[in-house]
Amino acid sequence: MAKVFGINTKIRGKVGEYIYRQTKKGTVVSEAPVKPVTPRRSQQQMNIRTQWANLGAIYKQFDSMLRRGFEGLPPQMSVYNAFIQANLGNVKVYITRLMRLNGGAILAPYQITRGSLPSISMAKNASNILVSSVHLGSLAISATTTVAQFSQAILDNNSSFVEGDQLTFFHGKQSIDSVTRTPRVSITGYKVVLDTADDTPLWNIVEKIGFSVSDNCLATSEEITNGAAAWVHSREGIDGTLKVSTQFFYVENSALATYQSHTAVTAAINSYGGINSAAVYLQPELNTVTP
What SS3 class is residue 283? coil
Q: Give me the helix-helix angle, 79-87 and 43-62, nearest 10°.
A: 130
pLDDT at 282: 41
Give the type of residue at 187: I
Q: What are phi and psi of 48, to 5 degrees?
A: -75, -50
pLDDT at 28: 60
pLDDT at 68: 86
pLDDT at 1: 47
Give the type of residue at 105: A
Distance of alpha carbon 15 from alpha carbon 196, whole angstroms? 78
H/E stretch holding 169 reads strand 166-176
* Longest distance between any two alpha carbons in the chain, whole Å: 102
Distance of alpha carbon 258 from alpha carbon 251, whole angstroms? 14
Question: Which residues of the chain have a pLDDT value below 50?
Answer: 1-2, 4-8, 38, 279-291
Q: Are 279 and 47 in contact (CB under 8 A)?
A: no
pLDDT digits (tens, 9 = 90+) for 192-240: 999 999 999 999 999 999 999 999 999 999 999 999 999 999 999 888 8
pLDDT digits (tens, 9 = 90+) for 156-173: 999 999 999 999 999 999
Contacts of 267 (CB under 8 A, 6+ apart): 94, 96
pLDDT at 225: 92
Q: What is the pTM of this model?
A: 0.80
What SS3 class is residue 47? helix
